[in-house]
A and B are shown apart, each in its own frame.
Chain A
Amino acid sequence: MRIGSAAQFGPVARGFVIGGVLAWAFVTLFPFYWTFVTSFKNLRIIVGGPTYFPFIDFQPSVHGWVELFTGVRGNMFKNLANSTIVGVSAAVVATLFGTMAAYALARYRFRVPLLAGLAFAVIAIGGYVALTELGMGRFGAISLAFAVALATSIVLGNLKLPGPLLGNEDIIFWFISQRMFPPIVSAFALFLLYSEFGKAGFKMTDTYLGLTLCYVAFSLPIVVWLMRDFFEALPPEVEEAAIVDDVPVWRIFLQIVLPMVMPGLAATFMITLAFVWNEYLFALFLTNTQWQTLPILVASQISQRGDEWWALSTAALTAIVPMMLVVWLLGRLMRSGLMLGSIK
């Protein structure tokens, strides 16, 4: 809904509003412009002091772009492909599963005994420690302990146990809490875990599967959290109308609920994709040659031969432009007002 237009302000207020907007636009757009012009400069121009306008106060050269595309400074195409493949797969998988989880959390009431959750932690950690003490390999120990813990907690979860019950809000909090600590904490742990997998014969570091799984795990909480809000904003009667009409749950979800949250879904997918696309820390830990992503390439431009700003700029632009394209494509899906006419 439109709340008002700029016309309802007086001329002075309007001047302030427009001035403010222009100032902010400058703040956000100038770095982009600066990166763009810098990518056409060479060392002499850069050390010669600030220049702003190609052809007017400096003669642009395309050597930065030539270097980028010929692969003089790392294989840009490969990293771009890696980022695209990993980013899209992780965003698709995380959005898919996260959305389903969020729907369940928004529409069904869960009651999990706290004891079942505690049992999981105790059996998983205790089992691992005990099994390794008994001389079992780490990989075997962790797999076995984890499987037993999961099975036990599922069984316990369905029993009437004494003690407090965890509800949907607790489950959501548990999801979000995974994003509350700095990522470096889990980056180390994940690296060690993947190394153990590698020793046991499943190569996880520097693989498509390893990197994608890690990103899915880290995107899921955000997806669940965002999507649940979108689902809760829907009037339940629309789904109930379908329930009374004997429509199976999966069709209600796919054909009625998903179309209604399309703007939210597009926004969530976008946020997830942007997170994975820009992610640096995990990519640094978990990849080296095969599955390096764009942020690593951009960062690596700094260290090689001193500060070569044109190289950094071309790499940065390569990382930015695809995201802008995606925003432009998905932007039209994000328009609101899809629910209009459903109720009242």
Chain B
Amino acid sequence: MTQVTLENVSKSFNETVVISDFNLAIENKEFVVLVGPSGCGKTTTLRMIAGLEQASGGVIRFGERDVTGLRPGKRNCAMVFQNYALYPHMTVAQNITYGMRVRGAPEAEVKEALANAARILDLEPYLDRLPKKLSGGQRQRVAIGRALVRKPDVYLFDEPLSNLDAKLRIEMRVEIRDLHRRLGTTIVYVTHDQVEAMTMADRVVVMNEGRIEQAADPITLYREPANLFVAGFIGAPSMNFLPGAISQGTFTGADGCSFPIPPQRLASGTDCAKAVCGVRPEHILAEASGPAKVKQKVKVVEPLGPHTLQVGMVGDVQFTAQVPAARKVSPDDVVELGLDLDELHFFDAATGKVLPKGS
């Protein structure tokens, strides 16, 4: 039951800076998800928390305890690795209880913990099997079971679901979420899948190139992205970006569109010669009635059932629109699309940062 604090943590591997000036305070019992593209330093951050990697600079604290130089075994974390890392020569039961037995826990306690973990994770029928006789999802649960019996202060999960098929992944997502609710232990969870991040986290930390781009709850990330990276990374399909300029409260797009910006979306008096207007595909209006309109040349139509995605170009940029399933559009059509003025985001193209909003 600890909060984990990372203060100005950095990490370099032989001169290559992988993490720089990383600051994050994880609350007690919080479910924090680190998300970001491949190679952005998620695993490295997790390994530094576990102590498997020594931070090159900065301080890591568990509660008041400075653990920066402490060896992994003394930190009381439990880690679930991206590739499970089960002990191949031990049965499921032995895999789960090995750590407890090494620490000399009394037999009754070991038995109880094993029974408990097996029940929670639905592993009872497999306790005497070797890992090679298990399916991917079962192996995954054994790895989680091994972490469970540790009764750690912090759980660390490194992309635990990346090797599972889509259906199992959704099931395990719910199970891990449920587990967190029942155990009430701090969890730091790494994934590169933004859907996983959004659905599981209390707070999502979006990382890019070893830095935190934004750390906030999923809804804030979705509604108030702090910069272009987060805006493009969170949400599927991705947000559309229209280049243009802002002057005197009016956005003029490179493709020729022009409309007044509602005051609550942009602080008054904000001018920007190189701006970007962001709009999510789901915020395209069914009827192109308002002042904000763009002309899209459709290239691909993707019917998804509940709605249809219309992928094409607006000016020189790619633009995806989510339209009602009933709409009949075919490739090479040029259609007019309305933008929901209340859902527009405006960024400074030079810095990538969101422009200040009005009240």
Q: Which A residues form the contact surface with B (CB < 8 A)?
A: 235, 237-238, 240-248, 251, 255-256, 259-260, 337-344
Contacts and interface: CB of A to CB of B under 8 A. Distances in A.
A87 B347 CA distance: 76
Contact of A344 (B51, B52, B89, B163): B163
Nearest to A339: B88
Interface of B: 50-52, 71-75, 77-79, 81-89, 98-99, 102-103, 130-134, 136, 139, 146, 150, 163
Contacts of B52: 240, 243-244
Given A243-B52, A244-B50, A342-B131, A238 B102 contact: no
A341 B73 contact: no
Contact of A245 (B83, B133, B139, B150): B150
A247 to B, nearest CB: 5
A266 to B, nearest CB: 14
A237 B88 contact: no
A342 B88 contact: yes
B294 to A, nearest CB: 46
Contact of A342 (B85, B99, B146, B163): B85
Contact of A237 (B51, B83, B131): B83
A243 B81 CA distance: 13
Contacts of B89: 259-260, 338
Nearest to B138: A341
Contacts of A245: 73, 78, 98-99, 102, 146, 150
Contacts of B85: 235, 237-238, 240-241, 342-343
A344 B150 contact: no
Given A235-B83, A240-B52, A341 B99 contact: no
B99 A238 contact: no
B136 to A, nearest CB: 8
A243 to B, nearest CB: 5
Contacts of B132: 337, 340-341
Given A243-B72, A244-B72, A260-B88, A341 B134 contact: yes
B81 A241 contact: yes
A336 to B, nearest CB: 12
Nearest to B51: A244
A234 to B, nearest CB: 10
B150 A342 contact: no
Given A237-B81, A247-B102, A342 B74 contact: no
